[in-house]
């Protein structure tokens, strides 16, 4: 049935009251996939909670060795974690929303089987999203690196920090603020939006740079070409860290430079052919 024979399932159990519902939905999905002769794998932590019979369990980091499609039942946070884990293998994702917003996990769980069937038959749109590559340089040596599908955030947990921003080795400005968000178009509807950043269509090859509560009100968000190289230098801090997609934290000190650029890899998200980004925005943001 179509191009996807080996399918991995990843689920999230956000609360006890949701556990039975998600367990039931996983069972329904597994039964459907088995009847259509797909080889099914379930992520090991999901299986610890779901305890599905007759399904092989594998670790998240090993998904790329077994699957050619990953179906995620959860929210956008679950999608972000899975996306970073499979990025090197370029395995497409399908997101079934069990969260509150579902900008990434956009399929309705109540119409799950209908949409999954269409996608498995090849009736889908492939939505390729850019990623950021973040490197932390300390005393001229790289001490940490990570991909980000949403954003790379430099932030203080206590007070204002002072930092300098450079784009393509050109000085942009020095700012005092609670921090700064460097965002992909995917992340434009996440933290960057709440900080006053622009909404960027996912097809744009662009990166937004959004200050968080800047001390100077004239300090505004900007968007730059996706091929830009961005450097953030720490000038003064009491306590600060880099956050990757709101899920990974790395502590910073005054020696650090954060280098951010577009990754060569992309993440593919599959949608039914009737998917419309603007309809999704209208529904999620309650536009008229």
H-helix or E-strand spanning residue 124:
strand 124-138
Question: Using CA atoms, how far apart are residues 182 and 188, in angstroms rounded to an integer?
Answer: 9
Give me the phi and psi of 109, to 5 degrees please: -65, -25
76 is catalytic: yes
Q: Tell me which of 24, 76, 145, 178 is the catalytic residue.
A: 76
Long-range pairs for 175-179 at CB < 8 Å and ≥24 separation?
A: 175/211, 175/214, 175/215, 175/216, 175/219, 176/214, 176/215, 176/216, 177/211, 177/212, 177/213, 177/214, 177/215, 177/219, 178/212, 178/213, 179/153, 179/154, 179/155, 179/211, 179/212, 179/240
Strand partners, 138: 141, 256
- The token pair that represents 65 in the structure block: 């060795």
H-helix or E-strand spanning residue 44:
helix 44-50
DSSP letter at 168 equals T
For the annotated catalytic residues, the residue numbers are 76
């Amino acid at each position: 049935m179509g191009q996807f024979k080996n399918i991995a399932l990843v689920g999230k159990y956000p609360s006890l009251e949701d556990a039975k519902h998600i367990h039931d939905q996983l069972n329904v999905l597994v039964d459907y996939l088995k009847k259509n002769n797909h080889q099914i794998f379930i992520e090991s932590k999901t299986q610890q909670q779901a305890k599905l019979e007759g399904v092989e369990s594998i670790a998240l980091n090993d998904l790329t060795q077994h699957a050619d499609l990953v179906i995620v039942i959860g929210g956008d946070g679950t999608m972000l974690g899975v996306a970073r884990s499979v990025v090197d293998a370029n395995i497409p994702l399908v997101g079934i929303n069990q969260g509150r917003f579902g900008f990434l996990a956009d399929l309705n769980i109540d119409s799950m089987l209908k949409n999954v069937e269409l996608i498995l038959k090849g009736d889908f749109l492939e939505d390729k999203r850019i990623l950021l590559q973040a490197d932390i340089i300390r005393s001229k040596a790289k001490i940490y690196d990570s991909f980000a599908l949403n954003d790379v955030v430099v932030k203080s947990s206590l007070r204002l920090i002072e930092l300098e921003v450079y784009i393509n080795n050109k000085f942009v400005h020095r700012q005092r603020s609670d921090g700064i968000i460097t965002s992909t178009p995917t992340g434009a509807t996440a933290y960057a939006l709440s900080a006053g950043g622009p909404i960027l269509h996912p097809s744009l090859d662009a990166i937004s740079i959004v200050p968080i509560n800047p001390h100077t009100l004239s300090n505004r968000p900007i968007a730059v070409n996706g091929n830009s190289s961005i450097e953030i230098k720490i000038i003064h801090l009491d306590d600060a860290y880099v956050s990757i997609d709101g899920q990974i934290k790395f502590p910073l000190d005054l020696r650090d430079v954060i280098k951010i650029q577009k990754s060569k890899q992309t993440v593919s998200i599959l949608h039914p052919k009737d998917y419309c980004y603007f309809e999704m925005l209208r529904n999620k943001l309650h536009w008229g």
